[in-house]
Chains A and B, each alone.
Chain A
Amino acid sequence: MTDTPFDHLEIALQADASDRLSAEREKCPVQHSSAHDGFWAFLGYEHVGDAARDPETYSSASGVTIPAHAFPMALPPIEADPPLHMQVRGPLLPRLAPGVMNDLEDDLRAMVTGLIDEFIESGSADLAADLSIPFPGMSIGKLMNVPDDDVAMLRHMTAHLMQNSTDTDMIMQAMGFFQKLYEDRLANPAEDLPTAILELEIDGEQIGNEQFLAIMAMVMMAGLDTTANAAGTMFELIGANPEVRQALIDDPAKIPQAVEEFLRYATPLHASGRTTTSDVEVEGCPVGAGDKVLLNWLAANHDPAEFEEPDTLNIERFPNRHFAFGTGPHRCLGIHLARMQLKLLAEEVLARLPDYQVDEASVERYVGVTRGLSSLPVTFTAGTTAS
């Protein structure tokens, strides 16, 4: 057993994280680390994919973050195994299906337009704090069908928890908010996501109060920070690659395929955890039953065994079977919402502030469950509001 001080959180904070992960992968694609109470890091595309598609061996029920988060319960469906997993996930799938998201396009675009209106006349903005971070909160607020004041609170709580996942005070605040939502929808069912969650049945019985809170917490944690960081890193990559920017301005129809490449390249959800249910040998390494395993999506997404010239940003890349949304039964539940959000953000920013320049010295990065930008200051030629 080789024991290295490999720490995915320390690496993910770096601008050159993928280079460092590739160096680690070349050294050893499966390695043990003593960090965070010990875990096995899977760094190659094939091992990561095989493990993610094998929930019988690689369980999610004991948590999917390394280190563990501080919520007082597992958060299903992401932290659940079969059969509970599909009992929760299945009824939520149609609410997040591609057609449903297409119907939301106009409403979501109006949110982006409104956020850009707030800074377009000034010629400067923070594309993280003023756009990439608030927009997913507003989108999830729409799905949750909660008032604007509550959306602002959700955004604040999530941004805080993503960087301080063990802050129990903030977790209790979030739980209090979801408890109010639970009581309200019990009394006033609506055509919205909280009511759909309230009506879930587990083993033939309607879900209880605590399970409702857990699932809402999962929606909040998975839906806000992930997309915010995908958007922030997308704008950073566009800013750093003039030929990519010009290609997308010239032909906005290329944006959806380019979004997949931004996701592969930056991989904001950089890694997820599993726990083995039996002894397995992987790449000659003895992974014991009950060991923690880290599936490093970012390392997999830069593996030359799968991706030609993996460190080149190529918006024409095909195929692009990246794991930015994971793979296997736990692939991101909000994948179609995320793609729509990122497409709209890229379209609107490139249409309205196409010449934005990033102030690279002031970019602020952070890492928790996801990696991304808390600040991306830009300047551009001022424009006019849409309304």
Chain B
Amino acid sequence: MSTIRVDSDRCQGHAMCVTQAPSLVDVDDLGFAVIIGDGTLSTPEHHEQAERAVACCPEQALHVEDES
């Protein structure tokens, strides 16, 4: 199972990820990205959203962890 993670040290709150992965990422009161739930990618739609969110981050703060 794969999960999406945010590196809080890198996130600067551009919030581009939220536009691409609204089921997976939200922003907190300061505008920084937070993962919804445990970040598990359980559907093909999740995987697609996660891929787009990772790709669009100007800070390269998101990544997908693969566990086999």
Q: Determine if chain A interacts with chain B.
A: yes
Interfacial residues, chain A to chain B (CB-CB below 8 A): 49, 53, 90, 93-94, 96-99, 256, 318-323, 325, 327-329, 331, 335-336
Q: Please give, as numbers and ranges, the residues of chain A lying within 8 Å of B57 by CB-CB distance.
A: 321
* 7 tightest Cβ-Cβ pairs between the two chains A and B: A97-B31, A319-B55, A93-B30, A319-B56, A321-B58, A331-B12, A94-B29
- For the complex formed, measure the closest distance between the CB of B10 and the CB atoms of chain A, giving whole angstroms: 8
Q: How many residue pairs between the two chains, A and B, have CB atoms under 8 Å in the bound complex?
A: 51
Q: Please give, as numbers and ranges, the residues of chain A lying within 8 Å of B52 by CB-CB distance.
A: 318-319
Among B13, B16, B58, the residue within 8 A (CB) of A93 is B13
Among B27, B55, B58, the residue within 8 A (CB) of A318 is B55
Q: Please give, as numbers and ranges, the residues of chain B lying within 8 Å of A322 by CB-CB distance.
A: 58
B contact patch SS: loop
Q: Please give, as numbers and ranges, the residues of chain B lying within 8 Å of A335 by CB-CB distance.
A: 13-15
Determine if A325 and B27 form an interchain contact, defined as CB atoms under 8 angstroms apart: no
Among B12, B18, B56, B59, the residue within 8 A (CB) of A98 is B18
Determine if A323 and B30 form an interchain contact, defined as CB atoms under 8 angstroms apart: no
A320 and chain B: residue at smallest CB distance: B56
- For the complex formed, measure the closest distance between the CB of B33 and the CB atoms of chain A, giving whole angstroms: 11
- For the complex formed, measure the closest distance between the CB of B63 and the CB atoms of chain A, giving whole angstroms: 14
Determine if B15 and A98 form an interchain contact, defined as CB atoms under 8 angstroms apart: yes
Is B8 in contact with chain A by the CB < 8 A criterion?
no
Of A97, A318, A327, A329, chain B has the most CB atoms within 10 Å of the CB of A97
**A331 in contact with B27 given A319-B56, A321-B56, A323-B58 (CB within 8 Å):** no
A325 and chain B: residue at smallest CB distance: B14
Residues of B within 8 A of A (CB-CB), count:
18
Among A256, A327, A331, the residue within 8 A (CB) of B19 is A256
Q: Can you list 14 A-B pairs with a CB-CB distance of less than 8 A? A: A53-B10, A53-B59, A90-B30, A93-B13, A93-B31, A98-B27, A98-B31, A319-B55, A322-B58, A328-B59, A331-B12, A331-B58, A335-B15, A336-B31
Docked Cα-Cα span, A321 to B52, in Å, equals 12
Docked Cα-Cα span, A49 to B10, in Å, equals 12
Determine if B55 and A331 form an interchain contact, defined as CB atoms under 8 angstroms apart: no
Among A96, A321, A329, the residue within 8 A (CB) of B31 is A96
Contact with A along B1-35 (1 / 0, CB 8 A): 00000000010111110110000000101110000
Docked Cα-Cα span, A49 to B60, in Å, equals 11
Q: Please give, as numbers and ranges, the residues of chain A lying within 8 Å of B18 by CB-CB distance.
A: 98
- For the complex formed, measure the closest distance between the CB of B44 and the CB atoms of chain A, giving whole angstroms: 19
Docked Cα-Cα span, A98 to B25, in Å, equals 13
Docked Cα-Cα span, A327 to B13, in Å, equals 10
**A97 in contact with B58 given A325-B14, A336-B15 (CB within 8 Å):** no
Q: Please give, as numbers and ranges, the residues of chain A lying within 8 Å of B10 by CB-CB distance.
A: 53
Contact with A along B46-67 (1 / 0, CB 8 A): 0000001001111100000000
Q: Please give, as numbers and ranges, the residues of chain B lying within 8 Å of A325 by CB-CB distance.
A: 14
- For the complex formed, measure the closest distance between the CB of B9 and the CB atoms of chain A, giving whole angstroms: 10
Since A53-B59, A94-B29 are in contact, a sample of 15 more A-B pairs with Cβ atoms closer than 8 Å, ordered by chain A residue number, is A93-B13, A93-B31, A94-B30, A99-B29, A318-B55, A318-B56, A319-B52, A319-B55, A322-B58, A325-B14, A328-B59, A331-B13, A335-B14, A335-B15, A336-B31
A90 and chain B: residue at smallest CB distance: B30
**A97 in contact with B27 given A327-B12, A328-B12, A331-B12 (CB within 8 Å):** yes
Docked Cα-Cα span, A328 to B31, in Å, equals 14
Q: Please give, as numbers and ranges, the residues of chain A lying within 8 Å of B16 by CB-CB distance.
A: 321
- For the complex formed, measure the closest distance between the CB of B4 and the CB atoms of chain A, giving whole angstroms: 16
Q: Please give, as numbers and ranges, the residues of chain A lying within 8 Å of B14 by CB-CB distance.
A: 325, 331, 335
Determine if B58 and A327 form an interchain contact, defined as CB atoms under 8 angstroms apart: yes
Determine if B15 and A329 form an interchain contact, defined as CB atoms under 8 angstroms apart: no
Q: Please give, as numbers and ranges, the residues of chain A lying within 8 Å of B13 by CB-CB distance.
A: 93, 331, 335
Docked Cα-Cα span, A336 to B32, in Å, equals 12
Q: Please give, as numbers and ranges, the residues of chain B lying within 8 Å of A329 by CB-CB distance.
A: 12
- For the complex formed, measure the closest distance between the CB of B35 and the CB atoms of chain A, giving whole angstroms: 16
Docked Cα-Cα span, A98 to B18, in Å, equals 10
